[in-house]
Structures are given as structure tokens and as C-alpha cells.
Structure 1
């Protein structure tokens, strides 16, 4: 699966999350995943909550439109983003079209 994939009603986004970083930021695409650095620790769902909040804010959508589809207990995740196209997500996240797959 590519970094972004259109599905019925939204987009799937593949991530590699690095918790306990100095700052929250996007690191760009590596392989077939978007790398995201978060300050939250991977304890009691804190990193997952921070990931969803950070991406919702970056995408300019409400937090309820971003959900973890798979990978809630690991660093590799697939998120579902409702009501956006892959092009809109790529533009908001600064992903080049050749990197989206």
C-alpha cells in the first residue's frame, strides 16, 4: 500500500510514529510511510492521542475525522481520514505526488 490511498468516504494514511521526540513534526516520506515525531510517551495511549490531534490540526479537520484503523499498539499505523481526498491530504502534509504512490 502507498502512503496515501483513497477509500470509500476518505483516505488511508500510513505512518511511522516516533514518540518521545523533542518536538512534534512531520519528517517526510520514508519508504511507503510518512514519518511523524511526537513529544508524547507511548504510555496509556498518550502517543496515539497526540498523533491524532497533531494530524487533525495539520490537516485542518476536526479530531473526530481522524481515526486509527490499524497499529494502535505499535509505531506503524494506518489512519483513516474522513471526507478528504488523497490530493488534499498530500497538499496539507507537504507530500509530493510522486511520494504518495
Structure 2
């Protein structure tokens, strides 16, 4: 299965496009927005709290240490790119477990 939001950047690294919505009731993946995984965050967009919550949630969800997930782009934007120091196949397998319909 091919995911438009995921690109391999090497054998042990990939980039994931995420669209965030801060100030949610809970942190969870909700679906797709413009080719990116849409994630609702239970953190305010103040002083980097939303970015820190996103990195922590993604690392926990994928099952890797937080040091393996870093923000590449979108520090103050809703659209973000995160580098994950894991094979793209591992992240694609995690995306498949979310039970979300494939983006169009």
C-alpha cells in the first residue's frame, strides 16, 4: 500500500506529512487532510507545547524513542513534516493499523 503522506529518505529514515489541529479533547489520528495525516492534539499551540506533544505521541504510537522523531518543517504552521529514523515500511505498517480509509 502506498501512502501519499510518507516518503523514504534512506534505508532507515522517512518523512511523514502531518496536518495538526491543536486544543483537542484528546490526541489521536483522525483521518486525512490535503494528502497529510490529520492529527488532533490535546495541547495548546503555545511555546512549542503542540510540537512536543506531536513528537511524543508519534514516537509512542510507532514504538520508537522520541529522539528518533524530529520536526523538519512547520514549527508554527498546522502543516508539519516530521523525520522518523525508522524504515518507511515500518511507518507504513503503523499507518495501516490506524484503520483510516486510504486518502484519495
Scaled to the shorter chain, the TM-score interval is: 0.7 to 0.9
- Give 1:31 deviation, angstroms: 2.8
What's the counterpart of residue 92 of structure 2? 90
How many Å separate the matches in 1 of 2:103 and 2:7? Answer: 8
Shift in alpha-carbon separation, 1:90–1:28, aligned structure 2, 3 A:
farther
- Give 1:40 deviation, angstroms: 0.5
Gaps of 5+ in 2: none
How many Å separate the matches in 1 of 2:80 and 2:102? Answer: 18
Calculate the aligned-residue CA RMSD, in Å. 2.0
How many Å separate the matches in 1 of 2:85 and 2:22? Answer: 24
Matched, 1:14 2:1: no
What's the counterpart of residue 6 of structure 2? 4
How many Å separate the matches in 1 of 2:34 and 2:90? Answer: 21
Q: Secondary structure at the match of 1:58?
A: helix
Gaps of 5+ in 1: none
Q: Secondary structure at the match of 2:57?
A: helix
Paired residues, number: 98
What's the counterpart of residue 27 of structure 1? 30
> Given the alignment, which residue of 21, 33, 45 partners 2:48?
45
TM-score, normalised to structure 2, is 0.84
